[in-house]
Structure 1
Amino acid sequence: MSTAPRRATLSFLALSLALALGAAAPLCAQHAPVPTLAPTANAAEAALRDLYTAEWEWRQREFDRERIDGRWQAGGRMPSVTPEAWHRRTAYWRDVLTKLDAISLTDLGREERINAAVFRTSIEASVANAAWRTYEAPFNSDSFFWGGINPRQPYQTEADWRRFIARLGDVPRYFDEQIANMRSGLDRGWSVPRATLDGRDTTLVPYTQTGEDNPLLATFERIPVAIPEPVRTQLREEGRRVVLEQTLPAYSKLLGFLRDDYFPRTRTTIAARDLPDGRAFYQSQIREYVTRDMSAREIHDLGLAEVARISAEMREVMVRTGFEGTFEEFLDYLRTDPKFYAQTPRELLAHTAWIAKKIDGELKHVVGTLPRYRFTILPVADDIAPIYTAGRGGLEACFFNTYDLPSRPLYNLPALVAHECAPGHSFQAALALEAPARPDFRQQTYFSGYGEGWGLYTEWLGTRMGIYETPYEEFGRLTFEMWRAARLVIDTGLHEYGWSRQQAIDYLAGHTALARHDVVTEVDRYISWPGQALSYYIGYKTILDLRAEAERELGAAFDQRPFHDTILNLGSVPLPVLEEEVRRFIAEQKAAGRASG
């Protein structure tokens, strides 16, 4: 899954998390210039460009962001999350949709038609979530509005540090607004499910400490020496003062609220359908994350069919390992034999780095355009590692979880590195940063079906790149594919068909070699974040089906490099737009082939 501070047709939960992550991300060393767009061709294109440009600049002001070195970055305040702020935003977005409806799409050129489709899908998701007031449950079992404030890597300039300190001083107001929203959610039966909350409060505890175990205080010990004295000492002292006098008490207050008030009153049900008008809400989440109209039944049936197909392939690979027991015994063997696990965090990270460099050598055969930007590999932060997923990738870094090493099998790492690093999320994010000139909102919009679909596709692409060297690593890849296919069954089972939490755990554990720790963490994520998990496999299948179509139509003339360039050069788009543009590429390639023949 992408960390992408980037990005999305976002629910208010996801938007809050993205804004927090954006606040935490230090500026890139590479500046991104303001794009220079081609002239508009007619009045319709001019009207559309004026509309999306004005909305994007308004949105940045709404969420207290500033253009710094060519990129929109967090400013000196945390965003407002009051109901009044959301109502104001919703009214603005509804007006934007009305204006968008008045623009004739038939008068738009190809690029502006794509812009219009991306823009509409993003705004519609924001308006839909406003109606559901999802900001009243502003976190889930996986991601937290309080956890993305601290930077993962130190800022590099004095101005960055001063904005960060100013945001820390605004945390008390921001947390108070979140608390007020959560109280309103409790009053109407809208909350995070209680079953998914075990241990989530502990992620706050380090931020309530007064010593160097506090991640915020530790951050101020990492001000780089490139910032000269006495400024470095001044920043450290001012930052520590703000943390101790303002930020730390706000974290303590939030922790007390969650433990004493929120958790005891959260709902004991787990299904989205059990929320007020829950079935309609779940359908809206499917629409948001899949970016196409699919019913829960359609998705559930697709999942069952894919699970059956992948199960057969997994058993074939098991035979290739020489294992002579049952499938269930093989899963137990994979989960328990020490030879499949790193003994130290450094060993796991070193293994991921080796895989990443091995993939580097194959990329020139996979895509035609390679990005200049580089990611690093880092461990998941200690404060969130116990409840975090195995790995996540973004523009700046790929993070791998080194907590509980007996739950982190090495045979899964090739697929995980391909997905999170390159040619998956980090690679994709770098290309987006360096993409041809397109509107600001296109550079920072992220659709989960597109992004996560590409990530899962790159795991399959690894079979063409030679990165799976043993049957165990191939089984690890199939485990990951099964994991995403099973999500189609589990997510719809939980939220539409009344599955219990234990039923979901048993289903995932019985079909994959995922460690028990990961199985439970994943199921709790699906319970508390309805619909998001559906995007991976549906996006993946869309891309894989398009590749099969291209290979069938183009025959020996098929070249995967321009095929992949077509997908990546689009940037993040809804899946119907992806299908339309890839089919346009196929038609152009066929026409070029006929002309040359």
Structure 2
Amino acid sequence: MTLPTQPTQPRATTAIDRIANEYTERLLELDPGFATELGRAGHESEYRDHSPAGLAALADAARSTLAALAAAEPVDEVDAVTVHAMAERLGLEVELHETGWPLAELNNIASPAQGIRAIFDLMPTATAADWQHIAERMANVPAAVGGYIASLRAGAERGLVASARQVKIVIGQCERHAAADGFFTTMTQQAALDADPGTSGTDAAGTDASDAGRQLPADLAEVLAANAEIARGGYGTLVAFLRDELLPQAPEEDAVGHERYQLASREFLGARIDLEESYAWGVAELDRIVAEQEVVAEAIKPGASIEEAKALLNADPARQLQGTAALTAWMQQLSDTALAELAGSQFDIPEVMRTLECRIAPTQDGGIYYTGPSEDFSRPGRMWWSVPEGEDSFTTWAETTTVYHEGVPGHHLQVATATYQSALLNDWRRNVSWVSGHGEGWALYAERLMDDLGYLADPGDKMGMLDGQRMRAARVVFDIGVHLKLPVPARWGTGNWTAEKGFEFLKANLDISAGQLDFEFNRYLGWPGQAPSYKLGQRLWEDIRDARAARDGSGFSLRDFHTQALNLGSVGLDTLKMALLG
């Protein structure tokens, strides 16, 4: 298939584009939080309906859109990709809905228990009107929680309940949000307006006028404080339900089995894979990466083991950062440099995409993530680092590759390009479709690309990249192995996988803090199929690139391949293969 790289003029809206755009508008109606993510005005205080009726409405919207697509005719290659991508995504959404498992959605990282609170991270805080919206949404937390409880209860009636391990973890998270010194109280106490740029100096009483201008109006501050208590109460209600009603029904078993795992794998990859073959590949890939690390360790110090080489890197003062302020500044400088040097030389990066903010996340759950820009780029793309409580020391060699993964040429370049391509992509392609294997696979692909481009020539930085790749390969082995109870590779143990064996395996292969290890272990158990999508996605990206290079021969251009691929937006990997290889 021949795809456009940069449109010379806006593409005429087709019937299929209209179907996709109408579906996007329907999603905005059904999920006000989605509008907040996009930076669109309206519905700022509302939540989606997390009840069974709300889930049914989403499934109905998918069904009606699939019917409309089936009756429409693609007019060009862009339409053909849209139809292929939407049929795969929406068809799977309906299939998943019919299993009933969306009713039971609960884990330690990506479920309504986290999302109801997390939406506040994306809400503007500059003006009094912004804080009024925040106050109003806080008042609606109990209703959102109530809908979620109704779904969890309906799922339990069908025998669909997350594992006891996940329920216990989420209870702890929700207790922190419900606490007197939790998120809602802290946000209220720190509430302030952006300084008025026209205000400076001191007033008659000697008070700094710019600081005075930052204070919320007294009546708004009172409403915000009162509604924070309401939000805390909503989470308190969720704690009581989870502890007293759901936990007694939760199974001790973590493994989800082959049938549910296959659906989860499709959800996160947008591709059908052979799970057992992928598991065997993951074992071999892990062995290959370990061997590569041994070569790099030798370069750091002749005769050193991987562990000894990393100890030397950790002891190097030039590679250490103390405190989150130093971490933030270092992330920002590294990100800014990559943006400046790759723009024009390796990638087309429009000026509007050249702002990427690096921040410490307001939570302490662990993990690093990216949030995309608003549609008009008034809110830039942001890289967030959620630092577990008590952790205050960081090493640059271990984290350099993460900055490239989350920023440029990783998620920022990928997500912001899709947002920018309004002349080529319909609303669904730009703003709705996100497939983990495509997105996270690209980010891992980007890490390897930065090595190829010489940005990881330092042996320490390369060891950090390989450590990240090793972690992702180990996750393929752990996730598929534990959830399908497959045999443990001889190098790592005996018998079949259990969660306990898996923890020791992760401990041997993931060089992260104890807090991060605990978070990751529980994440894999509670979110089956997601963690392997990174490395399996990278595998599929590289397979598609290599097949394209073989097909095009001397005419192959890696830069053009990247441009065409990124201009597709995030699609399932089967769709990516169809679009780039035909």
TM-score by shorter chain over 0.5: yes
Query: Are the counterparts in 2 of residues 93 and 127 from structure 1 also a CA contact under 8 Å?
Result: yes
Displacement after TM superposition at 1:232 (Å): 4.1
Matched, 1:413 2:399: yes
Specify which of 53, 56, 68 is matched with residue 24 of structure 2. Answer: 56
The residue number in structure 1 matching 2:347 is: 367
Asked if 1 retains the 8 angstrom alpha-carbon contact of 2:116 and 2:141, the reply is no
2:413 is the alignment partner of 1:427 = yes
> Which secondary structure state, in structure 2, belongs to the residue aligned with residue 572 of structure 1?
coil
Q: 1:572 to 1:551 in 2, by over 3 A?
A: same
- Residue-by-residue CA offset, 1:475-512 (whole Å, 9 max, x unaligned): 11011112112222111111112521222222233234
Q: Which residue of 2 aligns with 1:439?
A: 426
Q: Distance in 2 between matches of 1:36 and 1:165?
A: 40
Q: Does 1:38 align with 2:12?
A: yes
Aligned residue among 52, 56, 59 for 1:83? 52
SS in 2 for 1:191: coil
Q: Does 1:452 align with 2:440?
A: yes
Determine if contact 1:349/1:379 at 8 Å carries over to the other structure: yes
Corresponding residue for 2:295? 316
Contact 1:369 1:565 in 2 (8 A): no
Match among 225, 239, 245 for residue 224 of structure 2: 239
Q: How does 1:30-429 map to 2 (within 5 A)?
A: 37-40=11-14, 46=15, 48-64=16-32, 71=40, 74-104=43-73, 107-143=74-110, 144-151=114-121, 154-196=124-166, 199-210=169-180, 214-215=184-185, 217-218=187-188, 221-226=191-196, 232-244=217-229, 246-273=230-257, 279-322=258-301, 324-327=303-306, 341-364=320-343, 365-373=345-353, 374-381=355-362, 384-385=363-364, 387-392=365-370, 394-395=372-373, 396-403=381-388, 404-405=390-391, 408-429=394-415
- Cα-to-partner distance string for 1:432-484 (whole Å, 9 max, x where unaligned): 22114222111112111211111111111111333224212111101111211
Is the CA contact (8 Å cut-off) linking 1:328 and 1:510 kept in structure 2? no
In 2, distance between residues paired with 1:71 and 1:214? 23
Shift of 1:148: 0.9
Say whether the 8 Å CA contact 2:335–2:407 is kept in structure 1: yes
TM-score (norm 1): 0.80
Question: Could you say if the C-alpha distance between residues 331 and 141 of structure 1 is closer, same or farther in structure 2, counting changes exceeding 3 Å?
Answer: farther
Contact kept in structure 1, 2:31 and 2:49, CA below 8 Å: yes
Contact kept? 2:20, 2:427, Cα under 8 Å? no
User: Distance in 2 between the 1:337 and 1:547 partners?
Assistant: 38
2:27 partner amino acid: R
- Looking at structure 1, the residues matched to 69 and 13 of structure 2 have their Cα atoms a distance apart, in angstroms, of 20
% of aligned pairs identical?
24
Structure 1 residues 467 and 127, CA gap change in structure 2 (3 angstroms): same
1:489-568 matched pairs, under 5 angstroms: 489-497=477-485, 499-552=497-550, 558-568=556-566
User: How far apart, in 1, do the equivalents of 2:481 and 2:304 lie?
Assistant: 31
Q: Would the alpha carbon gap of residues 280 and 504 (structure 1) be closer, same or farther in structure 2, given more than 3 Å must change? A: same
Q: CA deviation at 1:210?
A: 4.5
2-side partners of 1:553 and 1:468: how far apart?
Answer: 30
* Deviation of 1:111 (Å): 0.9
User: Residues of 2 paired with 1:134 and 1:335: CA distance?
Assistant: 44
Cα distance per residue 1:384-409 (max 9 Å; x no partner): 31x32145454331112343437844
TM-score (norm 2): 0.82
CA RMSD of the aligned region, Å? 3.2
User: How many residue pairs were aligned?
Assistant: 533
Q: Is there any run of 5+ residues in structure 2 with no aligned partner, and where?
A: 1-8, 198-212, 374-380, 487-496
The offset of 1:202, in angstroms, is: 3.6
Give the letter for the 2:141 counterpart. V
Q: Note closer, same or farther for the CA distance 1:287–1:391 as it changes in structure 2 (3 Å cut).
A: closer
Structure 1 spans left out of the alignment, 5+ residues: 1-34, 41-45, 274-278, 585-597
The alpha-carbon distance between structure 1 residues 147 and 336, as it changes in their structure 2 partners (threshold 3 A), is farther
Contact 2:485 2:498 in 1 (8 A): no
Change (3 A) 1:405 1:470: farther
2-side partners of 1:520 and 1:65: how far apart?
29
* 1:58, distance to aligned residue in structure 2 (A): 2.0
Report the secondary structure of 1:372's partner residue: helix
| Partner of residue 571, structure 2 | 573
Counterpart of 2:492 in structure 1 is none
Range moving further from structure 2, 518-527 or 402-411: 402-411
